Structure 1
Amino acid sequence: MLGHKECAHLLLAHNAPVKVKNAQGWSPLAEAISYGDRQMISALLRKLKQQSRESVEEKRPRLLKALKERDLSALIAFSLPPLVPLLSRILPSDACKIHKQGINIRLDTTLIDFTDMKCQRGDLSFIFNGDAAPSESFVVLDNEQKVYQRIHHEESEMETEEEVDILMSSDIYSATLSTKSITFTRAQTGWLFREDKTERVGNFLADFYLVNGLVLESRKRREHLSEEDILRNKAIMESLSKGGNLMEQNFEPKSVFLPLNPGFSWEALTLPLPHRAPHLGRELVCKESKKTFKATIAMSQEFPLGIESLLNVLEVIAPFKHFNKLREFVQMKLPPGFPVKLDIPVFPTITATVTFQEFRYDEFDDSIFTIPDDYKEDPSRFPDL
């Protein structure tokens, strides 16, 4: 925040955690983008990705051991209510099929991406091969084009520089889902005589609960952006809303004006400020918003799979954006049973439903966990992976 690059490089050399955040939710990478030093942004970005890979590898033995349970398959459905047919065509809806055999996992889906109210459909399969080397273990198949891409590939210098261009030319965004105030209360049914709601979800009897106190806090900063940047970003968002592609946009290499060292004294830094810590870098241009949601969850004690087994499978799949929020949600202190149905608000008046439609212990042919012989490798098929 003050431009002391020698201190930052010393911390990086000793593998200081780049994901750490301050009390306001900002990371070192966010502050580097605000300050505008391109080399420091690149160094932090590379270290962040290195530490993420190391974290995955550190968890790998434990996950592989946990996955060596019974083979199973499950069908998870994502859907929106039919009361909003127009939005149901725009917003994501999918049924994901999961197969697990030993330490191998396969997920089949038709939802490739969802950005800016645009759904991209296809026929994808994500495969995790626990016996393969780490660099070979994650593969995504495009079954329509018959190509595949390995997910954990080393980024080229050009790819890193392009990512830095985008970071320096875009808003700095931070979002947190506060779980401290979350409580669960039994859902009620009936008009005159109220009673706890219990219904069958698929083949399983489930108790319904209201999830209270879900708070999404978001912050957006743009003190590093010029008026030209802001206007260009607005034009890009309008292009994307009309079906454009983010990878087609031109982010010119940018050098941000660096703020002068404000020369804080030790006395100034230790002065208590009301309700906030002193900000050392460029003066913030920040917008904050807070939204409170209510969700419903159905828990079944008849479901044959334990919640810990589900978390082990999802932790392997977690790099794919479809499951990140679901994994975070089920890690909270849930009521007794297994979550067989979730109703999650995605907009103030629209609620999405996630349901375990099918589940069974099963055996599969080993071939479903391998790349077909007629598929060709395409490292650039999915630029965001």
Structure 2
Amino acid sequence: MAGEAIQEYPMHECVFRGDKKELSRLLRTHDVTQKDKHGNTPLHLAVMLGHNDCVQLLLAHGAPVKSKNALGWTPLAEAISLGDRQTIVTLLRRLKQQSRELLEKRRPALMKALSDLGDFYLELHWDFHSWVPLVSRMLPSDICRIHKRGCCLRMDTTLMDFTDMKWERGDITFLFNGNAKPSNSLTVLDNKMKVYHRIRNQETETEIEDEVDILMSSDIVAAQMPTKNITFTRAQSGWLFKADKTDKVGNFTADYYIVHGLTLESRKRREHLSDEDLRKNKAIMENFTKGYLSENTEPERRPSLPPPDRSDASWEDYINSPPAEAPHLGRPVQNKENTKTFKAMIATSEDFPMTVEALMDMLEVIGPFKQFSKLRTFMQSKLPPGFPIKIEIPVFPTVTAKLTFHEFAWKEDLEESLFETPSDYVEDPTRFPDL
């Protein structure tokens, strides 16, 4: 039986032994995405064991960087734990490339879903509020106005930047054109300065290196919000005589519900962090919850960590161990688990013209992530009747987020010019350096 388990994963064994020549041969006939009994792909093992030649070979054959093992960790997470900077850079760059390729592959279906929706105008109000005065002063709020015509979306917003503990207001427009090439499909306009910038969806070397610095100095986090135990009860109003709460949200009548069983399960790893890193990260979070921000400092490039001691586990030890209980490979893990329970409120309206399915189609066009399939299932099966027109949920102990669909109307007469860059605007690639 043990021998069968060993023979079942020849690519994994090659990686474990660092046999690049045999791995190269097997890649012609075997599935590079295959997971072993611990949920690890060959790329997971190559990263954990520091076999960089195997890492490069697997990536060249399309090994997925986003794949999670049985414990919820990706090859990128394992690379951050190991601390080799060049490996982290390589995996991060390939992750972004694979995400772009997936979007391009799914683009025709996504554009059809967007085109099949009727044209509309949607007004979305969102804000964060807190009972702590200083925190409340720095939290954002905004009214987003969204127009949709064919394969085109326009979003107008007033938020621009965050400086000196307050949000800078402006007049900003995002234009998405599903008929254009991906490199030209998203444009941001500054309507006061009359300039525009095309978002190329391609990071510079400096942006990649900056992101790696953040990854190497922060916790590695895996989080999930289980939907199985979520339930809803009608919210009550009135002092002496209680009644189910119903109220107007914008122009729509909505029923209010309290959400129970909403929990966020998170696991953090910090074996790659120094005591100084932990102290700084703790201070940043404490200052934020009190309404203070740390001063911006020039980023220092993080050096690679010294490699950990080699594991003395053999391939047989590894593959014959119980599922998800493999002998340790790589840097000794420092794991911290946490579960937070949230008390949320939701208001649903059966008067709202858009369906949940249509909303999910639009969200998937904007962000085609596989998490949306789970969210879609939850929205269709779990929610009370009607459209979730208002959602209020705590995001920190002192901060609550509120999202309201305030206005909606189907529109058949939206002008094409709404979705075009005005002819008198000038291109300025430096106007939005963070996009």
1:257 CA drift (Å): 0.7
Is 1:361 the counterpart of 2:410 in the alignment?
Answer: yes
Q: Deviations for 1:295-318, whole angstroms, at most 9, x for unmatched residues?
A: 111111111111122122223334
Is 1:261 the counterpart of 2:305 in the alignment?
Answer: no
Q: Deviations for 1:169-203, whole angstroms, at most 9, x for unmatched residues?
A: 33323333232322223333345554433322222
Is 1:338 the counterpart of 2:387 in the alignment?
Answer: yes
1:100 CA drift (Å): 0.7
Is 1:370 the counterpart of 2:420 in the alignment?
Answer: yes
Q: Quick check: 2:111–2:365 contact (8 Å CA) kept in 1?
A: no
**CA 1:350 to 1:165, structure 2 compared with 1: closer, same or farther past 3 Å?**
closer
Is 1:301 the counterpart of 2:354 in the alignment?
Answer: no
**Alpha-carbon distance between aligned partners in 1 of 2:129 and 2:50, rounded to the nearest angstrom:** 51
Partner of 2:68: 21
Counterparts of residues 206-355 of structure 1 (less than 5 Å): 206-227=254-275, 229-230=277-278, 241-242=292-293, 244-245=295-296, 249-269=298-318, 270-272=320-322, 278-318=327-367, 330=379, 333-348=382-397, 350-355=399-404
- SS class of match (2:391): strand
Q: Quick check: 1:41–1:164 contact (8 Å CA) kept in 2?
A: yes
Kindly tell me the number of residue pairs found equivalent between the two proteins. Answer: 379
**Alpha-carbon distance between aligned partners in 1 of 2:355 and 2:168, rounded to the nearest angstrom:** 33
Partner of 1:30: 77
TM-score by length of 2: 0.76
- SS class of match (2:225): strand
- SS class of match (1:178): coil
**Alpha-carbon distance between aligned partners in 1 of 2:276 and 2:129, rounded to the nearest angstrom:** 41
Partner of 1:137: 185
Is 1:203 the counterpart of 2:214 in the alignment?
Answer: no
Q: Quick check: 2:130–2:398 contact (8 Å CA) kept in 1?
A: no
Partner of 1:63: 110
Partner of 2:40: none
- SS class of match (2:384): coil
Larger radius of gyration: 2
Unaligned runs of at least 5 residues, structure 1 = none
**CA 1:115 to 1:147, structure 2 compared with 1: closer, same or farther past 3 Å?**
same
Q: Deviations for 1:139-177, whole angstroms, at most 9, x for unmatched residues?
A: 122334433332233233343334333323333233332
**CA 1:163 to 1:82, structure 2 compared with 1: closer, same or farther past 3 Å?**
closer
Q: Quick check: 1:91–1:118 contact (8 Å CA) kept in 2?
A: yes
TM-score by length of 1: 0.84
Q: Deviations for 1:105-158, whole angstroms, at most 9, x for unmatched residues?
A: 011112346799764443321110111111100112233443333223323334
**Alpha-carbon distance between aligned partners in 2 of 1:135 and 1:129, rounded to the nearest angstrom:** 11
**Alpha-carbon distance between aligned partners in 1 of 2:422 and 2:179, rounded to the nearest angstrom:** 18
- SS class of match (1:255): coil
Partner of 2:203: 155
1:327 CA drift (Å): 8.7
Unaligned runs of at least 5 residues, structure 2 = 1-47
1:49 CA drift (Å): 0.5
1:332 CA drift (Å): 6.9
Please provide the CA RMSD for this pair: 3.5
1:11 CA drift (Å): 2.8
1:104 CA drift (Å): 0.7
Q: Deviations for 1:14-73, whole angstroms, at most 9, x for unmatched residues?
A: 222211222333211011011122232122112211111122223322222122232211
- SS class of match (2:392): strand
